[in-house]
């Protein structure tokens, strides 16, 4: 149970980081 929760948390953090990186890249390319 705990391991599954940690896995889901890590996965969501990874997706969040990738999303932030994409936003930064898009904003940087726009300038």
pLDDT in tens, 1-31: 689 999 999 999 999 999 999 999 988 887 6
The pair of three-digit structure tokens given for residue 15, joined into one six-digit string: 């997706």
Q: Give the span between the Cα atoms of 26 and 30, in whole angstroms.
A: 6
The pair of three-digit structure tokens given for residue 22, joined into one six-digit string: 């994409």
The reported pLDDT for the residue numbered 14 is: 97
Cβ of 7: how many Cβ atoms within 10 Å?
Answer: 10
Distances (CA, A) of 18 to 2, 3, 8, 13: 24, 23, 15, 9
The reported pLDDT for the residue numbered 2 is: 82
The reported pLDDT for the residue numbered 1 is: 62
């Amino acid at each position: 149970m705990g391991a599954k929760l940690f896995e889901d948390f890590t996965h969501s953090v990874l997706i969040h980081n990738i999303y932030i990186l994409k936003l930064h890249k898009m904003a940087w390319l726009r300038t």
